[in-house]
Amino acid sequence: MSQTKERLRAALSAMSRTGKRDLGLHLFMIVFCLIVLAIGLPFIWLLQFVPDWVWYPLCAAWVAWLLFGDTIAAGYRAFRGNQS
């Protein structure tokens, strides 16, 4: 019987440590989400006023950045003189 109690205490101790870490991570993510919403929602609201024709160049620029982002960034660094 005492062996079962020791196992339960060990399990509760392990759960207590990981529970505190998980709670801290969840609280951080909630605060981070609120900050992202506070920054992102005005931009999303402003995008409603963008004319329809602007979406095509924006999407093309996004695809170009996805395909050649590292190349563009390296060229910009070289132009600015920040070789790294």
Are both 68 and 34 inside the same structural domain? no
Whole-model pTM?
Answer: 0.49
> Sign of the CA dihedral 32, 37, 40, 42?
negative
pLDDT band at 20 (very low <50, low <70, confident <90, very high): confident
Are both 22 and 39 inside the same structural domain? yes
Mean of per-residue pLDDT scores for the chain: 88
Are both 55 and 40 inside the same structural domain? no
Q: Distance between alpha carbon 17 and the CA centroid of its chain, in Å?
A: 25
Q: What is the pLDDT of residue 82?
A: 67
Range of the domain at 26: 1-49
Higher pLDDT, 11 or 40: 40
Radius of gyration of the chain (CA): 25
Are both 67 and 42 inside the same structural domain? no
Number of domains composing the chain: 2
pLDDT band at 14 (very low <50, low <70, confident <90, very high): confident
Q: Do 74 and 80 meet the contact criterion of CB atoms below 8 Å apart?
A: no
Are both 1 and 39 inside the same structural domain? yes
Are both 62 and 44 inside the same structural domain? no
Are both 61 and 45 inside the same structural domain? no
